Structure 1
Amino acid sequence: MSLFKKFKNESETQAMELLNSSVANVEEMKKMYSSLFPYSKLSDASKDFKASATSATNEKVALAVSATLDMVSEQSIVLDKLEHFITLHVPKIEDGGNFGVGVQLDLVKKLGEMKESATKSTEALLGYDAARSDALGKLNLPSSSKSVTKSTSDTTTDGKKEDKSSETIEEKENTPSPSGPAYESKEKAVVAVDTLYYYKARGILGETIISFVAVMDFIDKNKDKLVEPKGKSGSSNFSMY
């Protein structure tokens, strides 16, 4: 009996639970996709995003990026569980080779590719805040600053010591004119950043859904070979004659 039989059985139960709930999960993913990405044309998205060009945050894009990052992260956890399942179901190596594990190896390859893609997607989307902040900073929007100067002094009156303090407040305002070709160009740059990351998030979430469907469909079609690659007897059906 395998030393890790307990973990093997647990991993199989977990994998089958993921498979059984996969259809419902895909339906939820599709609803999320439709909600986060309502624009069929990027030009329509850009027109809408223009209203948020001078705002600290574009709520629609920020939500799309955040939700997509969460979905990619959740899928990475699922991939780890499936990889754990496959690792523990690779059969004992027999003399002459380990025949019958081709389906398992195919799934291992798919999972590896998906995990690598998830890492790249996460790195790509995490650049949104920095990119937007840089573009927004170049607009040189109206701002104000306040400085406070405090001072204290000791005075003596009729032999009594008194502490006196004074405070000076200085306010400065920067009010550049939000107009002109240069300003409009910089404003477009902010919109371009929002549109770019909206596009990235849409593509990544779409690919995440497709990849999830593909891997769960693969498991559904080949679950017998994944669980018992050499059959229930545990021996290979391979013959050289």
Structure 2
Amino acid sequence: MIPVRLPPPEDVSAETADGSGMSMTLVVASLDHELGPMLRRPFLFYGHSMGALVAYHLTRLRQSRGRPLPERLLIGAYPAPHLPHRLAHCTHLPDEDLLALLPPHPAGHSRLLRQAPGLATATAARLRLHLGLCDSAAPAAPNPAQHTGHGSPQGRSEPLRCPVDVFTGISDPLVTDAEAAAWRHHTRAGCRIHRIPGGHFFTRETPESRAAFFDRLCTVLAGPSEWAAGASGPLPVTVAS
């Protein structure tokens, strides 16, 4: 397992509609360069929340460059990339209002932030940076003209040629079941949705949610790949609870 940190903001910033901010295009190009030598053997990507969007765009970049793809793309707690996330375009909000939008954190960060104004300021700045990164890769606003049927995006890039497994918290206020299931539009190799007890931070929210997540993850990793090379379209979505 290799934890991945974002590149330094000053190395991957670009002018955006809201000013200067991190660019998803520059971030994933930097990550592909740094991780490339380690991705010559079979591998998987797991990204949680903002990290899920980064993992998706990194996979897209590698596919466009003809490079090896993850055997599975594992997504946690993020809506399908053609849909706006719940905190889209909130970076202009004052620190207090921005932090109030966050779901409860298992470490009790809300209480700590109230007690330590300096920590709150630093946390809001980091959150603003990360939300800006998501905004740089997302549609400016929901546009019904770009979708048909059940949220199927029109004019999107070629679907991924690797399977996608989506982990979503049953009580996550930031991602609905429909938004999680919409990931099926972004792969032609099969998509499975795994509903995990807990909220947005189900990987560490409670002992029960953590155990449920890792039990499901072990099942996914132990199972056969659903790679469907040459498939003509997305395979049906499978939901597991």
TM-score normalised by structure 1 residue count: 0.19
CA radius of gyration, larger in: 1
TM-score normalised by structure 2 residue count: 0.19
**Which structure shows the higher helix fraction?**
1
